[in-house]
A = this chain, B = another copy of it.
Amino acid sequence: MKVDRSVSSSAERILAAADKLFYRQGIRAVGVDAVAAEAGVSKRTLYNYYPSKDDLIAAYLTARFRHLEPSDAPAREQILGNFDRLERMFADGSFRGCPYVNAVTELGDPKHAAAGIALQFKEQRRVWFRVLLERLQARDPDALATQLQILVEGALASALVRGDPALARSARAAAEVLLDAAGARRPVRSVRPTRRAR
């Protein structure tokens, strides 16, 4: 298999191949041989960069880690925009569930590095919600953040078994009800008061 070696390093290509195959077909369903072949790299080289499949799995999950940072956009928009992103993901056709939850499910072992990475990611998003909720001066931002996190997780799992993108809209509508009930109907101090909704 011919691969343009100048475009990216071997390590990067291996990681890209692992991401594609692990997510699409499942971690346990894909062997290291397949990953090496997809990356256009010999198995020896793969094991040079990642000493074991478990290391590769951990690297795959870590690479998927996107550091969330609340932006300057209106908090409510940011929160609800999350669900719009979900809807786009569901409609994409290549959606196969949350990679972190999938890894935990597939590996089973709670002591596997993947379990810790998954927990870290989920907690990061929960905190991201909480910061935005504090900005909205919502009641009990911590509890509400957990509930929004549950809605996201539920939309992901539901869309996995029933591939309906509209599930994201259902979750979004529920989130709006929860936000309203927590007294976050409108931003208290919006960055730009004239900005219209969405």
- Indicate whether A73 reaches chain B with its CB closer than 8 angstroms: no
Give A148-160 as 1s and 0s: 1 = Cβ < 8 Å from B's Cβ atoms.
0111111111101
Within 8 Å by CB of A161, from B28, B104, B152, B155, lies: B104
Report the copy number of this chain in the oligomer: 2
A174 at the interface (CB under 8 A from B): yes
A97 within 8 A of partner (CB): yes
| CB-nearest residue of chain B to A148 | B174
Q: Does A143 contact B (CB under 8 A)?
A: yes
Residues facing B in A119-158 (CB within 8 A) are 119, 122-123, 143, 146-147, 149-158
Q: Are the C-beta atoms of A119 and B170 separated by less than 8 Å?
A: no
Distance, CA A122 to CA B162, complexed state (A): 9
User: Is the Cβ of B162 less than 8 Å from the Cβ of A153?
Assistant: no
Flag whether A60 is at the interface (Cβ < 8 A): no
A160 touches B105 (CB 8 A): yes
Residues B122 and A161 in contact, CB atoms below 8 Å apart: yes
**Bound-complex Cα distance A102 to B157 (A):** 10
Structural contact, A28 and B167, CB atoms closer than 8 A: no
Whether A15 sits at the interface, judged by CB under 8 Å, is no
A158 touches B149 (CB 8 A): yes
Q: Are B26 and A106 in contact (CB under 8 A)?
A: yes
Which residues in window 53-110 of A have CB below 8 A to B?
96-98, 100-102, 104-106, 108, 110
Residues in A lying within 8 Å of B, measured CB to CB: 25-26, 28-29, 96-98, 100-102, 104-106, 108, 110, 115, 118-119, 122-123, 143, 146-147, 149-158, 160-163, 167, 170-171, 173-174, 177-178, 180-181
11 contacts between A and B (CB under 8 A): A26-B106, A97-B104, A97-B105, A104-B161, A115-B161, A123-B162, A150-B151, A150-B155, A150-B167, A152-B154, A156-B157
| Leading 6 A-B pairs by shortest Cβ distance | A154-B154, A150-B154, A153-B154, A153-B157, A147-B174, A146-B170
